[in-house]
A and B are shown apart, each in its own frame.
Chain A
């Protein structure tokens, strides 16, 4: 089966940079995605890595290394509205989600 591990919680300060790591034990997937979910809301897509390397989308960047079975989401210039849960997910004809990381942002 598939297994994606993330830290359960991360705390950072407004304006800072935070990195959320994702390690996985799966194979045969097309790429690694990241989703954001605010309390009471639906998950929303943030980023996708089909190839190894860094993808940048505004304040968010995501990285994938298939050889290390590892990826991360980097959030820059943190804002209070970034307080949410973040999920890594593998795309393999269906999408399987990691356990999620709750990001707390301090003013």
Chain B
């Protein structure tokens, strides 16, 4: 299993500002994933972060809006840039388990409200 520490757990931000979310894993992992979840909705994959290379973004998500860093095998950040109320959501980071891609572990999420 993997233990993931994600912070902040929640924040209220002004529109037009940016927020950086941090994700720390207790073991080295190849890939880290960032998801967005609207209340009562499913998880939508934003991007996959690999150490040493640029993140791979899913359709509808762009690097200018959601820049990601992956400086080492245990840490990643997601920045939500130039925020608007539509960015209000829960953001979760995730990693694969030791058995590869059969199961994922999640941080507790960051509940973001943009006012």
Q: Closest approach, in angstroms, between the C-beta of A4 and any C-beta of chain B? A: 9
Distance from B105 Cβ to chain A, minimum over Cβ atoms (Å): 7
Known: A94-B45, A95-B94. A42 touches B106 (CB 8 A): yes
Residue of B41, B42, B48 ringed by the most chain A CB atoms within 10 A: B42
Within residues 28 to 75 of chain A, which ones have a CB less than 8 A from any CB in chain B? Answer: 30-31, 33, 35, 41-45, 48, 50
> CA A54 – CA B84 in complex, angstroms?
45
Size of interface on B: residues with Cβ below 8 Å to A: 21
Q: With A87-B43, A99-B42, A100-B42 given, is the CB distance from A42 to B101 under 8 Å?
A: no
Tell me the interface secondary structure of chain B in the complex: strand
Within 55-107 of A, Cβ neighbours of B (below 8 Å) are at 87, 91-100
Cα distance A43–B103 when bound, in Å? 11
Indicate if the CB atoms of A98 and B42 lie closer than 8 Å: yes
Cβ contacts under 8 Å, A43 to chain B:
43, 92, 104, 106
Closest Cβ of chain A to B22, distance in Å, is: 16
Contact B106 A33 (CB under 8 A): no
The complex places the Cα of A30 from the Cα of B33 at a distance, in Å, of: 17
Nearest-CB distance from B65 to chain A (Å)?
19
Q: Which residues of A contact B44 (CB under 8 A)?
A: 97
Determine whether the beta carbon of A93 is less than 8 Å from that of B108. Answer: no
> Given A43-B92, A93-B101, A94-B45, list of 6 further CB < 8 A pairs?
A1-B59, A42-B106, A44-B106, A48-B103, A95-B45, A99-B41
